[in-house]
Every structure is written in C-alpha cells, then in structure tokens.
C-alpha cells in the first residue's frame, strides 16, 4: 500500500506560520488596584461628568444674573407708511391758539374761527381740514442706553441666588466623586470576592471529581456500592452547580465594577488586592472606641450633601426675595437719540432723556 503524498504539508505549514506572524499578539492583562479603580471612577463615571456639566451651567448663570447691574442698549428701526390727516391734540391746540378763536354763532353753537387779531375783529370760520387715506413714507429709528439703578433688590438677590446655586453645584461635584469612589471600592472588593469564590468552587469540582474516580475504582473492585457512586456523582453535580453560580456571580460583579468605573464593558484587568486592606488599622480601632454621638457629629460636619442642601436653601430664599422685588416699581434712567422723517437719507434727529418709575412686564403676578 502506497503512502499518501506529503507535498501539501510544507505550503500549509508556511501559510500557518504567516497567519500566526500576522495575528496581533494577545494583550497581557493589566493589573487593577483599588486606587486605580477609584481614580478611573472619579474621572470617567457619567454621574461625575453630569454633575460637572451642571456646575458649569450654574457658573454661567452667575454672569447672566450679573447682567442686571449693567446698562443695556435699546434700538429700533421702523418703516411706518401712514396717512397725513391732522388730529388736533391739546398740544397742537396750544401751539396754534394765537391765530385761532372760538365764538358763539346766532344759534348759540361754538364755532372755530381764524382771527388776524384774536379777541378782536377780522375773524372767519376755520376751513375744514382735508382728510385722505393715502399713505406716505415715514421712517423712525432710535438707539438708546438705559440703566436700572434701583429695583428693590431684584437683581442683587437674583445674583446671590445664582452664586449659591453655583457653589451648591460645585459641592455636588465633590459629593458625586465621593459616591462613585465608594461604589468603585465596593464593586472592586465584590469582584475580588467573586473571583475567590470561583477559585474555591473550581477546586471543589476537582476534589469531587477525584473522589468520584476513586469511588468508581473501589466500586469496580467490589469495595463500594452503587449508592456510594451515586452519592459521589451527586456531590460532583452540586459542586459543578456551585461553580456555575460562582462564575455567574463573577460576571455580575465584573459588570458592576465596569459600570462603577464608567466603562461600557469589562476590560482586560487583573484585580490585585492589597492584603493590608483587610487588616484592622489603628485608625479603625480609634473610631471603634469613639462615642456614637461624636461619630454622628463628625459625619454631619463632613458630609458634603448637607452643605449642598444648605446652599440650595439659601438660593431659594434669595430667589423669593428677588421675585418680591417685581411687586415694586423699578427706577430706570435712559438716554435715547431718535431719528424720524419721510426720507431715510434726511431724517430729523432728536434726543430723549427719561427717568421712569414703573413695573417690569409680568411683575404683578402670583402663582
């Protein structure tokens, strides 16, 4: 019988060698200590990032609230086609009163007349003013500077409220960092414990498998009964079930640790726990001997959540004071140059200086 041809062995070996050379090397697992986990959580956890964004937005609102102390610009440009019918207002009547007069006719009705000498002779009835709805071009423009020097604390309390909110948000960043650091520490040690449980369960499976082999050998030799074999098989099955649960717990613990670190999935990490972390330290003994009232007082002073809530309470009180300022008139100074006329290239200029005491829009409201 002839031997099979081996001409294809060398090309196949060469191809496999090239494939192995081109394949990326397997990355070694990185050591991850609890300090590294805490640092990653503080820098990557979405809760910290969200709180930082909230703090940035609150800081920007301080500048927004400070705008109430500064002057502001007003301006407008309007094209207003309108009819030119004269409407005698009290002001126009005073301006034209030198050549006009009112007399009583024979029927006892007042009649407006035009007099060359008011109060004397030479008067004639005032001709009726023509009325037309024909539109004529009219342009109006204005640019002004206004400032509110007094608004009963509305701007001042709004600024203080915005400042307190920003400080509360900054304190919230510290709170979020502490929370994620605690979550990372707990998740780290849970993952370490889950890994140890997998190791113990794996060793238990190996032990029960050896016991089953021995029991089966003794059974074959007539030294054990079938019940002993079944008992050994049951023990091995229970050990394998415990191993499966331990591996599931390890996967769950790793997923929880990845979430605490701000990662989407478990990385190639090898958890390294410092044995000294499980030892009782002198500071632990000192705290254990401290009275509960002293520990509670220390916790109340150090918890950043309480400071955050206190700043928020102050900001709400200032916001209430700022809203009360809307119920009182505010003093506003304004200088407004204006331009108006029928031809946009030849507008008549004026200037208006005003000191006003009035309510802002929506001031007298109550929810």
Please, what are the domains in the chain? 29-64+156-315 (1.20.1600.10)
The partner residues of 349 in beta bridges, in order of sequence, read 339
CA pair distance 220, 214, nearest whole angstrom: 10
Q: Is the pLDDT of residue 90 over 70?
A: no
Band of residue 358 on the pLDDT scale cut at 50, 70, 90: confident
Q: Is the pLDDT of residue 59 over 70?
A: yes
CA pair distance 326, 212, nearest whole angstrom: 86
Instruction: Please give the share of the chain, as a percent, with pLDDT higher than 70.
Output: 78
Q: Which stretches within the chain are classed as H helix?
A: 9-22, 34-44, 46-66, 90-95, 154-220, 226-261, 282-288, 292-302, 304-324
Say what the pTM is: 0.65
CA angle 126, 129, 130 (to 5 degrees): 145
- Per-residue pLDDT of 94-122, as tens digits, reads 444 445 666 566 666 676 666 655 555 55
- Per-residue pLDDT of 290-330, as tens digits, reads 888 888 888 888 889 999 999 999 999 999 999 888 888 89
3-state DSSP assignment of residue 261? helix
């Amino acid at each position: 019988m002839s031997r099979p041809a081996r001409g294809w062995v060398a090309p196949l070996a060469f191809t496999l060698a090239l494939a192995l050379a081109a394949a990326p090397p397997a990355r070694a697992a990185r050591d991850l200590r609890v300090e590294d986990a805490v640092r990653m959580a503080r820098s990557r956890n979405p809760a910290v990032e969200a709180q930082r964004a909230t703090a940035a937005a609150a800081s920007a609102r301080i500048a927004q609230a400070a705008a109430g102390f500064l002057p502001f610009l007003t301006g407008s440009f309007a094209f207003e086609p309108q009819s030119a019918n004269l409407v005698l207002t009290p002001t126009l009547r005073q301006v034209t009163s030198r050549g006009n007069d009112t007399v009583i006719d024979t029927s006892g009705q007042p009649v407006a007349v035009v007099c060359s000498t008011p109060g004397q002779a030479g008067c004639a009835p005032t001709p009726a003013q023509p009325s037309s709805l024909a539109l004529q071009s009219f342009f109006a423009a204005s640019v002004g500077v206004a400032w509110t020097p007094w608004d009963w604390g509305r701007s001042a309390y709004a600024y203080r409220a915005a400042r307190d909110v920003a400080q509360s948000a900054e304190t919230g960043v510290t709170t979020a960092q502490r929370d994620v650091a605690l979550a990372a520490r707990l998740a780290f040690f849970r993952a370490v414990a889950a890994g140890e449980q997998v190791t113990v369960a794996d060793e238990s499976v190996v032990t029960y498998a050896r016991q089953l082999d021995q029991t089966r050998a003794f059974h074959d030799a007539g030294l054990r009964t079938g019940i002993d074999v079944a008992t050994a098989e049951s023990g091995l099955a229970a050990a394998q079930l415990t191993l499966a649960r331990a591996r599931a717990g390890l996967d769950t613990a790793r997923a929880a640790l990845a979430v605490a670190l701000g990662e989407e999935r478990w990385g190639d990490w090898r958890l390294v726990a410092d044995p000294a972390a499980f030892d009782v330290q002198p500071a632990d003994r000192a705290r254990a001997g401290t009275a509960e009232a002293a520990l509670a007082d220390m916790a109340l002073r150090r918890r950043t959540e309480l400071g955050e809530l206190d700043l928020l309470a102050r900001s709400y009180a200032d916001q209430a004071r700022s809203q009360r300022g809307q119920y009182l008139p505010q003093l506003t100074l304004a200088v407004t140059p204006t331009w108006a006329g029928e031809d946009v290239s030849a507008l008549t200029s004026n200037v208006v200086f005003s000191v006003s005491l009035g309510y802002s829009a929506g001031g007298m409201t109550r929810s």
